[in-house]
Structure 1
Amino acid sequence: MTVFAVEYTYSETTTGLRDEHRSDHRAWLARLVDEGTVLESGPYPDGSGALLIFRADDADALATILTQDPFSDVDAIAGTRVTEWKPLFGPLAP
């Protein structure tokens, strides 16, 4: 399994959409945490986006997972940056 850092960028114009769908988004994340797919996640305090750490077979599998995010369904994410990440130290390191 590969670890990926996923960075969401939010726009002020979609704040209402995120507020409306936040509970569904968080339920989706909680399910993925329970499955071991999401290792960490959380928004930036300034509201500009969020950082999510995923475990997936490969980039294609991750792309499929990300399309299932309720925020994605309603175009509440302005941008997504996906980077393969190799933790060396800390609780996520092998």
Structure 2
Amino acid sequence: MPIFAVHYVYSDSTIAERDTHRPEHRTWLAALVESGTLLSSGPYPDGSGALLLFRSDDAGQLKELLARDPFAREGLIDDVRAVEWVPVMGAFAP
């Protein structure tokens, strides 16, 4: 199953709302980890966004999944870039 690298971009204007919705966002993420859909995720140290690594059949399925993220639902993500990624070495390589 393909792996996708998803980059979220955040702005300073959404900090307070992200803090409010972070518990629900992380609960959503934890369920995806449990199911094997989400391989890893975490914010960038400068607060500008986050990187999430997903397994998904295709980009369309991933887009539908990302729309259910509480951060997306609340309009707290300024931009999303999702690209298929092909690891050849390391922890995520076949």
Same fold (TM over 0.5): yes
Whole-Å separation in 2 of the counterparts to 1:45 and 1:24? 21
Q: Give the secondary-structure state (helix, strand or coil) at the position aligned to 2:19.
A: helix
1:16 is matched with which residue?
A: 16
**Deviation by residue 1:3-22 (Cα, 9 ceiling, x = unmatched):** 00000000000111100000
- Superposed, 1:2-81 pairs within 5 Å as 2-81=2-81
Whole-Å separation in 2 of the counterparts to 1:11 and 1:93? 33
Q: Give the secondary-structure state (helix, strand or coil) at the position aligned to 1:32.
A: helix
Whole-Å separation in 2 of the counterparts to 1:63 and 1:36? 17
> 1:91 Cα deviation (Å)?
1.1
For 2:22, the aligned partner's letter is R
In the TM superposition, structure 1's runs of 4+ consecutive aligned residues that sit over 4 Å from their partners are none
The number of aligned residues is 94
Tell me the C-alpha RMSD between the 2 structures: 0.4
Whole-Å separation in 2 of the counterparts to 1:14 and 1:81? 18
Q: Give unmatched runs, 5+ long, in structure 1.
A: none
For 1:55, the aligned partner's letter is R
**Deviation by residue 1:14-64 (Cα, 9 ceiling, x = unmatched):** 111100000000000000000000001000011000000000000000001
